[in-house]
Amino acid sequence: EDQVTQSPEALRLQEGESSSLNCSYTVSGLRGLFWYRQDPGKGPEFLFTLYSAGEEKEKERLKATLTKKESFLHITAPKPEDSATYLCAVQAPGANNLFFGTGTRLTVIP
Amino acid sequence: GEEVAQTPKHLVRGEGQKAKLYCAPIKGHSYVFWYQQVLKNEFKFLISFQNENVFDETGMPKERFSAKCLPNSPCSLEIQATKLEDSAVYFCASSQMAGGQNIQYFGAGTRLSVL
C-alpha cells in the first residue's frame, strides 16, 4: 500500500536555526513528489515538485531534495513568517490525485 | 480567475440535512479535484474531473456524496443527509496538467460543521 510519512510531527526552531523536514514514501513508480505549505484556515500553497532522484529545487530559504525513498525540505535561517504546516504529497502511477502525508507543523520563534 | 474560489467558507448543517459546496477552478485549468481534510491534517481524495467528465471517483463514498462540473458553472460537491462524521474541511484544487505536470492549486476550503 502506498504510504507517505512525514517527520517530525512538530518542530520548534529559533529564528536563524536551520533544519530539515523529512518525507519518506513507499510508492512504486513515483510520478511526482510535491511540497505544500499550509497556514491555519487556508488551503495548501504549492512550493515545489520533484520528479526524479537527485533532483533539487530552491526558493528563498527553502530547498527540496529527492532520493528514491525520501524527500527533504531544508530550511535555512528561518524567519517567524516561515511558521506553517508543511505537507508532502505523492502522485502514484495511474493516478492523478495526490496522496498526502500528515504534515510537519513548524514554529519559528523570534 | 487567477485562484480557486470556494464557497461558502463555512457551512453549518444539522444531521440529516443536505450540504452543497461550490468551487470555481482557475480559468484554463481542465482538471478539478475534491479532497476532504479531517483531524491531524489527513487529506482524503474524493473525486476528480476532466472538464465536465468524472475522471476518478474511487474516493467518493458510494452513498450520500455526489459531485458535478457543468459547463459555465462552478463545480459542486453535494452531501445528502449529512452525518456527524462528514464534519471536515473540503478543499477543491485545479490543475492545468500541462506537459505532464500535475501541479494542483488549492482553494481556501469550505469548513462543514454537522451538528
CB pairs under 8 A between A and B: 61
pLDDT at B99: 67
Top pLDDT among B79 and A3 is at B79
B26 touches chain A (CB under 8 A): no
Give the closest residue to A35 by CA, choosing from A74, A3, A76.
A74
Indicate yes or no: CB of A46 within 8 angstroms of CB of B56: no
Is residue B94 a contact partner of residue B105, using CB atoms and an 8 Å limit?
yes
pLDDT at A64: 98
Residue among A96, A104, A105 with most chain B CBs within 10 A, to mutate: A96
A89 touches chain B (CB under 8 A): yes
Cα-only R_g, chain A = 13
In chain A, the residue whose alpha carbon lies closest to the alpha carbon of B32 is: A97
- The answer, yes or no, to whether the previous bond of A40 is cis (omega within 30 of 0) is no
CA B4 → CA A22, B28, B35, B37, distances in Å?
A: 29, 11, 14, 17
- Binned average pLDDT, 10 residues per bin, chain B of 115 residues: 93 98 95 91 92 93 94 95 96 86 94 97
pLDDT at B1: 64
Measured between CB atoms, which of A44, A96, A99 is closest to B102? A96
Indicate yes or no: CB of A89 within 8 angstroms of CB of B95: no
Give residue-wise pLDDT tens across range A70-81: 999 999 999 999
Q: Is the confidence at residue A95, as pLDDT, over 90?
A: no
Task: Give the mean pLDDT of A53-67.
Answer: 96
B53 touches chain A (CB under 8 A): no
Q: Which residues on chain A are in Cβ contact (under 8 Å) with B60?
A: none
d(CA A5, CA B78): 31
CA B51 → CA B93, B94, B95, distances in Å?
A: 13, 10, 11
B104 touches chain A (CB under 8 A): yes
Task: Give the mean pLDDT of A21-44.
Answer: 93
Q: Which amino acid is at B114?
A: V
A97 touches chain B (CB under 8 A): yes
d(CA B88, CA B114): 9
What residue spans of B2-114 are helical by DSSP H? none
Indicate yes or no: CB of B41 within 8 angstroms of CB of A99: no
Is residue A108 a contact partner of residue A82, using CB atoms and an 8 Å limit?
yes
Percent residues over pLDDT 70 in chain A: 98
pLDDT at B64: 95
B57 DSSP 8-state letter? -
